[in-house]
């Protein structure tokens, strides 16, 4: 049974929650940033605007992970906020299952 790229993106965001809670919010973001920005560059058309918007979303996510890293516990609201980025990222990308 294989996983779609979108499902994997959700799992990476969940893993980011774990690392943020452990005080190492920087663990997942470089990989995620590189993967998402390279997908934008590989897409057809003008990618500069998408790249700027994706950079903004990644910065927001980074700040959220930092906030979580300073928390005593991760609450449901924080989990929902982080997982909402999956849908935000998908808006800018074309995944194989979308074709």
How many Å apart are CA 41 and CA 58, to the nearest integer? 16
Question: How far apart are alpha carbons 23 and 35 in whole angstroms?
Answer: 23
- Give residue 99's pLDDT band: very low, low, confident or very high (50, 70, 90): very low
| pLDDT band at 1; cut points 50, 70, 90 | low
Average of per-residue pLDDT across 44-49: 75
Distance CA 38, CA 3 (A): 20
Q: Is the predicted pLDDT of residue 26 greater than 60, yes or no?
A: yes
């Amino acid at each position: 049974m294989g996983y779609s790229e979108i499902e994997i993106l959700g799992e990476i965001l969940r893993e980011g929650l774990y690392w943020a809670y452990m005080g190492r919010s920087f663990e997942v973001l470089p990989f995620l940033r590189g993967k998402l920005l390279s997908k934008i560059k590989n897409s057809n058309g003008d990618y500069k605007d998408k790249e700027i918007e994706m950079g903004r979303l990644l910065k927001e996510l980074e700040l959220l992970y930092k906030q979580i890293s300073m928390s005593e516990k991760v609450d449901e609201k924080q989990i929902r906020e982080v997982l909402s980025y999956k849908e935000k990222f998908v808006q800018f990308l074309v995944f194989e299952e979308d074709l």
